[in-house]
Amino acid sequence: MSALRKTVLHNFKKLHRTRLRVFDGDERALIAARTKINEEFNKNKHVKDEDAIRAMIQFAEDVERELRCQVIQAREVKPGVFEAKITDDTLKIDNIPYNDSAIPDEAVPGQKPCCQDQVKNTQL
Q: 22-30 long-range contacts, Cβ below 8 Å, gap at least 24? A: 22/67, 22/68, 22/71, 22/73, 23/73, 24/85, 26/73, 29/73
The model's confidence at residue 44, banded by pLDDT at 50, 70 and 90, is very high
- pLDDT band at 118; cut points 50, 70, 90: low
24 contacts 67 by C-beta, under 8 angstroms: no
| The dihedral formed by the CA atoms of 24, 26, 27 and 30, expressed in degrees to the nearest 10 | -60
Q: Do the Cβ atoms of 82 and 74 come closer than 8 Å?
A: yes
Task: Report pLDDT digits (tens) over 6-20.
Answer: 999 999 999 999 999
Structural contact between residues 74 and 84, judged by C-beta atoms closer than 8 angstroms: yes
Q: Is the pLDDT of residue 82 over 80?
A: yes
